[in-house]
Chains A and B, each alone.
Chain A
Amino acid sequence: MIPLSYFLLLGALLFALSFAGIVLNRKNIIVLLMCVELMLLAVNMNFVAFSQYLQAPEGAIFVFFILTVAAAESAIGLAILVLMYRRRGNINVDEMNTLRN
Chain B
Amino acid sequence: MIIPVYKILFYLNAAILIGAATMVIVTRNTMRSALFLVLAFVASSVLWMMLQAEFLSLVLIFVYVGAVMTLFLFVIMMLNIDIDPLREGFVKYLPLGVIVLAAFLGLLFLVLGPHHLSITGQDIVPVSADYSNTQAIGELLYSQYLYPFELAAVILLVAIVAAISLAFFGRKPGTKSQRVRQQLSATKEERLRIVKMEPSDR
Q: Enumerate chain A interface residues (CB-CB to B < 8 A).
A: 1-10, 12-21, 23-28, 30-31, 33-35, 37-38, 41, 44-45, 48-49, 51-55, 57-58, 60-61, 63-65, 67-76, 78-83, 85, 90-92
Contact at B56–A60, with CB atoms within 8 Å? yes
Complex: how many Å from CA A18 to CA B44? Answer: 15
Complex: how many Å from CA A88 to CA B145? Answer: 44
Q: Which residues of A contact B63 (CB under 8 A)?
A: 67, 71
State how many angstroms separate the Cβ of A93 from the closest Cβ of chain B.
Answer: 8
Beyond the given A13-B108, A37-B37, A71-B63, could you list 7 further A-B residue pairs with CB under 8 A, ordered by the A residue number? A18-B25, A24-B26, A28-B86, A45-B44, A81-B75, A82-B75, A92-B85
Number of A-B residue pairs, CB cutoff 8 Å, is: 234
- Chain A binding surface SS class: helix
Complex: how many Å from CA A61 to CA B59? Answer: 12
Closest 10 CB pairs of A and B: A21-B25, A72-B159, A12-B108, A16-B104, A20-B101, A28-B86, A79-B163, A79-B166, A24-B97, A5-B114
State how many angstroms separate the Cβ of A78 from the closest Cβ of chain B.
Answer: 5
Q: With A76-B163, A82-B79 given, is the CB distance from A24 to B94 under 8 Å?
A: yes
Contact at A61–B100, with CB atoms within 8 Å? no
Mark each residue of chain B from 39 to 83: 1 if its CB lies under 8 Å from any CB of chain A, else 0: 011001001100111011001100110011001100110110111
Q: Which residues of A contact B67 (CB under 8 A)?
A: 71
Contact at A53–B122, with CB atoms within 8 Å? yes
Q: Which residues of A contact B71 (CB under 8 A)?
A: 74-75, 78
Complex: how many Å from CA A33 to CA B136? Answer: 32
Complex: how many Å from CA A85 to CA B108? Answer: 38
Complex: how many Å from CA A10 to CA B26? Answer: 19
Contact at A30–B76, with CB atoms within 8 Å? yes
| Complex interface residues of chain B between 144 and 202 (CB less than 8 A to chain A) | 145, 148, 152, 155-156, 158-160, 162-163, 166-167
Q: Is B22 an interface residue (CB 8 A)?
A: yes
Complex: how many Å from CA A37 to CA B25? Answer: 12
Q: Which residues of B contact A70 (CB under 8 A)?
A: 68
Q: Which residues of B contact A82 (CB under 8 A)?
A: 75, 78-79, 166-167
Q: Which residues of A contact B52 (CB under 8 A)?
A: 52
Q: Is B12 an interface residue (CB 8 A)?
A: no
Complex: how many Å from CA A49 to CA B141? Answer: 19
Q: With A26-B93, A91-B79 given, is the CB distance from A2 to B18 under 8 Å?
A: no
